[in-house]
Chains A and B, each alone.
Chain A
């Protein structure tokens, strides 16, 4: 059964860089049938898509975050990563990683458990 697990610092200072990694287990990250994505949820608010990446490194980003986001993949480690810089308090959120299907199968499943990142000095 495919599982995803987010990891990274839970506290980041304003103007610095948020870095998270998603580890994929129980399946291959190199399948051409899927993308891998990041989604976030500020406290008490809805879901916001950040971006996605294919195993070959092809990316797509939310236009509202594009200038600050980089998503990368390391197939040798079965991991993909998120960098967001510079951050402000508005970037405080639970960050989820998830698998996204391609073509018409463009839904997220499964999701990681999520990790809370707080931006504060």
Chain B
């Protein structure tokens, strides 16, 4: 079965750029989606199809996908960006989530 690998945690200084990776075999050939989940809340879609932002998501959130790694980039990180982030793909009629990354804003 297909697997997605994310770092357990990423830290970023306030106002700096955070990058969260999602690794998978030839993930560049798949559509990758990203979710933000704050404590006690349901996940929220922040990036779809590798690099597209849903309405209402700040331009500070961007995504890329190539080779074996997809990346979620959060520019000018704010305290409100502190959350868990999950990547997700569709693989042979199944949904696969990454293990999640806890973003800490210092």
Contact = CB atoms under 8 A, between A and B. Distances in A.
Contact of B31 (A52, A60, A106): A106
Nearest to A6: B42
Interface stretch (A21-29, A85-93, A109-117): A109-117
Interface in B36-52: 42-45, 48-49
A98 to B, nearest CB: 8
B94 A108 contact: no
Is the contact region of chain B dominated by helix, strand, or loop, or is it mixed?
strand
Contacts of A112: 42
Given A46-B100, A47-B86, A108-B88, A60 B42 contact: no
Contacts of A47: 35, 43, 86, 88, 97, 100
Contacts of B88: 47, 107-108
Contacts, number: 60
B88 to A, nearest CB: 7
A63 B100 contact: no
Nearest to A4: B42
B83 to A, nearest CB: 13
B29 interface: no
Contact of B93 (A60, A96, A105, A110): A60
16 contacts: A46-B86, A46-B100, A47-B88, A47-B97, A49-B94, A52-B95, A63-B1, A63-B94, A106-B33, A107-B31, A107-B33, A107-B49, A108-B33, A110-B45, A111-B43, A114-B42
Given A37-B95, A49-B94, A114-B42, 17 more contacts: A39-B95, A39-B97, A46-B100, A47-B43, A49-B95, A49-B97, A62-B94, A63-B94, A106-B90, A106-B95, A107-B45, A107-B48, A108-B33, A108-B95, A109-B45, A109-B54, A111-B42
